[in-house]
């Protein structure tokens, strides 16, 4: 790659940030595909939107890497005159790709949260936030395109004729910075909204507090993308105070890559909880061991079913159909066998099958109700089938559960 500048340059910083950003995003995306295809066996619309975000972000990083050869990170006075026009063309495209990349990333987060939401106010919040992102990002996108009239004046300002071959006009730095600040503020606020919303997903759910906060943490990682947005505001302000754009602009370029990289990585990690479930199960064995000791001290007639349900399951009224599956939460099943004492073993087995009572909490039901199935309940007349009833009726309840 031809070097179009002389002297000192900070272009290596761009290379380091771009490579690290691409590695983090694609590695986390690979794990996401493993969870979706290998564990959950499906791909949703949010996954395809994420694919689009990854492609756009990768192109954006590739162009930023190319900018370093045109003098990004070097002083303006040390850059060859022939490099300004192609260099600023790439800057122009990078500005547009940054807006598209962050917007598509937020759309992917919104689509995933819509799949997890169960309340009307949650869906309304997501739709309103998405609408704000789309409207303001579209306005900012076209603002960047037409910041100079005609648009080619943006990169022709540093051509040999200084862009004077035609009547051109570009917005002042103050106007450009003000509109950019507004877009950054919108981006930060929407990051905060998407970071706080997961708290309301699990606020009223009956589940282990450790599980509840792990769900909140893994879904709210996108909140940290707002940090990069705020840092960008500081460098935008600094850039408007100088004419050495290539030297000072490298900081803005770095944080423009870091912001979507954090958002995309956090978005991918938010889907990985089913993969982490084994690790969480291992940690939860300590709690289960303590609970088993406590259970042994209870009176024999006291049931532990309610305790298990409170600790390891969630109320079906409080989450959508796919919520538990997508986040690897526990499901509880209860099976009760009723048998009569006395008689021979084949007769006992036959009666046990006829009196099988199954109660299960099914994920396919939106109602907070148990489904009950009673198979072949005999009439009182059928009791005269030679079975010895003197031993009484025995009920055996088996509780199976997964620990989140």
Helices 305-312 and 273-296 meet at what angle, rounded to 10? Answer: 150
pLDDT band at 400 (very low <50, low <70, confident <90, very high): very low
pLDDT score, position 370: 40
pLDDT score, position 153: 87
List, for residues 127-140, the tens digit of each pLDDT value: 999 999 999 999 99
More confident residue, 171 or 394: 171
List, for residues 205-243, the tens digit of each pLDDT value: 766 777 777 778 888 887 788 888 888 888 888 888 788
Instruction: State the average pLDDT over residues 168-184.
Output: 84
Write a three-state SS string for 76-130: HHHECHHHHHHHHHHHHHHHHHHHHHHHHHHHHHHHHHHHHCCCHHHHHHHHHHH
- Model-wide pTM > 0.75: no
pLDDT score, position 305: 41
More confident residue, 339 or 205: 205
More confident residue, 308 or 150: 150
Local structure of 399: helix, strand or coil: strand
Is the CATH number of domain 11-271 1.20.1070? yes
Evaluate if residue 107 carries a pLDDT over 90.
yes
pLDDT score, position 389: 54
Helices 84-116 and 245-269 meet at what angle, rounded to 10? Answer: 20
Instruction: State the average pLDDT over residues 267-293.
Output: 65
Is the backbone peptide bond immediately before 150 cis, with ω within 30 degrees of 0? yes
Evaluate if residue 144 carries a pLDDT over 90.
yes
Q: How far apart are CA 376 and CA 383, in angstroms?
A: 13
Instruction: State the average pLDDT over residues 148-159.
Output: 84
**How high is the mean pLDDT of the chain?**
75
Instruction: State the average pLDDT over residues 171-200.
Output: 87
Evaluate if residue 278 carries a pLDDT over 60.
no
So where are the chain's domains? Answer: 11-271, 300-401
List, for residues 32-67, the tens digit of each pLDDT value: 999 889 888 888 899 999 999 999 999 999 999 999
pLDDT band at 18 (very low <50, low <70, confident <90, very high): very high
pLDDT score, position 9: 87
Contact 137, 105 (CB under 8 A): no
Owner of token pair 């570009």: 170
**Distances in whole angstroms, Cα of residue 146 to Cα of each of 100, 140, 143, 152:** 16, 10, 5, 9
pLDDT band at 403 (very low <50, low <70, confident <90, very high): very low
Cross-strand pairs, 334: 359, 399
pLDDT score, position 274: 80
Q: How far apart are CA 327 and CA 51, in angstroms?
A: 21
pLDDT band at 163 (very low <50, low <70, confident <90, very high): low
Under DSSP, the state recorded for 72 is: B
pLDDT score, position 372: 40
Helices (H) and strands (E) in the chain, counts: 13, 6
Instruction: State the average pLDDT over residues 101-125.
Output: 91
Contact 26, 268 (CB under 8 A): no
Q: Report the DSSP pairing between strands 332-340 and 393-401.
A: antiparallel
Q: How far apart are CA 28 and CA 271, in angstroms?
A: 10
- Provide the b/e sequence for 100-130 (b: ≥16 CB within 10 Å): bbbbbbbbbbbbbbbebbbeeebeebbeebb
pLDDT score, position 141: 96
List the structure tokens of 265: 């990585």
Q: Report the DSSP pairing between strands 169-170 and 371-374.
A: unpaired
If we measure between CA atoms, which residue out of 396, 375, 374, 277 comes closest to residue 331? 277
Local structure of 169: helix, strand or coil: strand
More confident residue, 178 or 297: 178
């Amino acid at each position: 790659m031809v070097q179009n500048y002389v002297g000192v340059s900070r272009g290596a910083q761009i290379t380091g940030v771009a490579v690290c950003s691409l590695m983090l995003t694609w590695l986390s995306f690979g794990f996401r595909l493993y969870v979706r295809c290998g564990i959950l066996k499906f791909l949703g619309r949010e996954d395809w939107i994420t694919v689009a975000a990854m492609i756009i972000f990768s192109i954006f990083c590739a162009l930023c890497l190319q900018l370093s050869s045109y003098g990004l990170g070097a002083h303006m006075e040390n850059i060859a005159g022939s490099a300004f026009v192609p260099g600023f063309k790439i800057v122009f495209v990078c500005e547009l790709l940054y807006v598209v990349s962050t917007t598509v990333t937020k759309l992917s987060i919104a689509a995933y949260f819509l799949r997890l939401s169960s309340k009307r106010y949650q869906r309304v919040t997501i739709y309103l936030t998405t609408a704000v992102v789309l409207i303001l990002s579209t306005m900012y996108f076209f603002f960047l395109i037409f910041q100079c009239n005609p648009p080619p004046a943006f990169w022709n300002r540093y051509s040999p004729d200084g862009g004077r071959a035609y009547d051109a006009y570009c917005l002042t730095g103050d106007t450009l910075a003000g509109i950019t600040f507004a877009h950054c503020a919108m981006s930060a606020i929407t990051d905060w909204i998407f970071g706080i919303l997961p708290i309301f997903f699990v606020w009223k759910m009956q589940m282990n507090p450790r599980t509840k906060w792990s769900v909140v943490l893994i879904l709210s990682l996108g909140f940290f993308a707002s940090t990069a947005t705020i840092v960008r505001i500081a460098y935008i302000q600094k850039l408007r105070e100088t004419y050495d754009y290539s030297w000072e602009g490298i900081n803005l370029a770095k944080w423009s890559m870091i912001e979507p990289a954090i958002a995309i990585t956090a978005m991918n990690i938010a889907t990985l909880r089913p993969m982490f479930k084994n690790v969480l199960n291992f940690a939860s064995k300590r709690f289960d061991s303590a609970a088993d000791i406590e259970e042994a001290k209870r009176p024999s007639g006291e049931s532990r079913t309610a305790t298990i349900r409170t600790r390891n399951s969630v109320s079906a009224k409080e989450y959508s159909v796919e919520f538990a599956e997508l986040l690897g939460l526990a499901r509880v099943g209860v099976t009760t066998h009723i048998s009569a004492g006395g008689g021979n073993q084949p007769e006992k087995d036959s009666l046990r099958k006829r009196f099988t009572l199954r109660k299960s909490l099914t994920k396919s039901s939106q109602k907070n109700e148990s489904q009950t199935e009673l198979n072949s309940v005999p009439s009182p007349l059928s009791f005269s089938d030679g079975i010895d009833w003197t031993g009484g009726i025995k009920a055996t309840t088996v509780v199976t559960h997964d620990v989140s």
